[in-house]
């Protein structure tokens, strides 16, 4: 049985990629497409966005989208995602959320909704990135003493949040493996006379420029050696195909908050 999917923010970069990925993925059907109410694409067909014959009409009625879809995939902005998950809760339908930049209290709203509906919420849907999360957990436990941890990330000039959700999740994975609280040990950028490095901290460095899709590296820096675990994205398509995999994973779920580690069976 195919999964009927609705896409939020369909005219955006990820929205268009999701359309392309759906058309290449057996067992997944695009049933609804959503955009902002003031979007010039409202009332037009999805096919006009991607240059094919898809006749699904782009609309802004979230409730109507859930009426014909099993799952909504959302890579929009925090305010949009929070509005969408309320509709999902009322409709008793699933959501796949790749939105970043959510505050702790906003993440808690998602967690509360997941008590009633199934949700995959992950800062990065890429299979490769999630393999890196697993590798970082192993590496951090092996390199728990004598190694300083630094997280580097680079993205395109249009990204509005920093550090990236993926970089923060990498920091969380390492901090959890080391028995630390990331909120207490994270250092975001350095300037001036900072003094000697605190061995318990996890540093973050951010670059924004051009059309960089997404580069992430975690460095475990010891005396005399350095271990680096990296992921470099050449396109956003892995995020789209991972999101479809997540939507399929939720088909038989009644409720619960999951991430891509659950989807990939890595826990």
Report, as residue numbers or ranges, the catalytic residues. Answer: 155, 159
Report d(CA 144, CA 113) in Å as an integer. 36
Report d(CA 232, CA 195) in Å as an integer. 32
Cβ atoms within 10 A of the Cβ of 224, count?
5
Give the DSSP per-residue string, 23-92. HTSTTEEEEEEE--TT-TTTTSBHHHHHTS---PBEE--HHHHHHH-SEEEE-S-HHHHHHHHHHHHHHT
CA angle, corner 172, sides to 125 and 132, nearest 5? 45
User: How far, in Å, are 54, 136, 227 from residue 170 at the CA level?
Assistant: 38, 7, 15
Strands of 166-225 (E only): list them.
186-188, 202-208, 214-221
Cβ atoms within 10 A of the Cβ of 267, count?
9
């Amino acid at each position: 049985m195919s999964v009927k999917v609705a896409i939020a923010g369909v005219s955006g970069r990820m929205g268009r990629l999701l359309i392309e990925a759906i058309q290449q993925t057996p067992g997944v059907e695009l049933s609804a497409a959503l955009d902002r109410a003031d979007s010039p694409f409202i009332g037009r067909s999805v096919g006009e966005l991607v240059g094919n014959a898809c006749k699904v009409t782009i609309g802004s009625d979230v409730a109507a989208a859930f009426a014909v879809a099993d799952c909504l995939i959302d890579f929009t902005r925090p305010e949009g995602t929070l509005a969408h998950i309320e509709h999902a809760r009322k409709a008793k339908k699933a959501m796949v959320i790749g939105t970043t930049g959510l505050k702790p209290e906003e993440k808690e709203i998602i967690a509360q909704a997941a008590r009633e509906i199934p949700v995959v919420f992950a800062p990065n849907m890429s299979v490769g990135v999630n393999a890196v999360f697993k590798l970082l957990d192993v590496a951090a436990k092996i390199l728990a003493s004598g190694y300083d941890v630094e997280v580097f990330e680079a993205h395109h000039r249009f990204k509005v949040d920093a550090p990236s959700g993926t970089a923060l999740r990498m920091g969380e994975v390492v901090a959890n493996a080391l028995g630390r609280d990331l909120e207490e040990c994270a250092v975001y950028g350095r300037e001036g006379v900072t003094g000697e490095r605190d061995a318990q901290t996890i540093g973050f460095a951010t670059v924004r420029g051009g059309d960089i899709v997404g580069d992430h590296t975690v460095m475990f820096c010891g005396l005399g050696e350095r271990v680096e675990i990296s992921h470099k994205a050449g396109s956003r398509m892995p995020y789209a195909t991972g999101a479809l995999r997540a939507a399929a994973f939720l088909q038989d779920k009644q409720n619960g908050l999951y991430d891509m580690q659950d989807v990939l069976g890595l826990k």
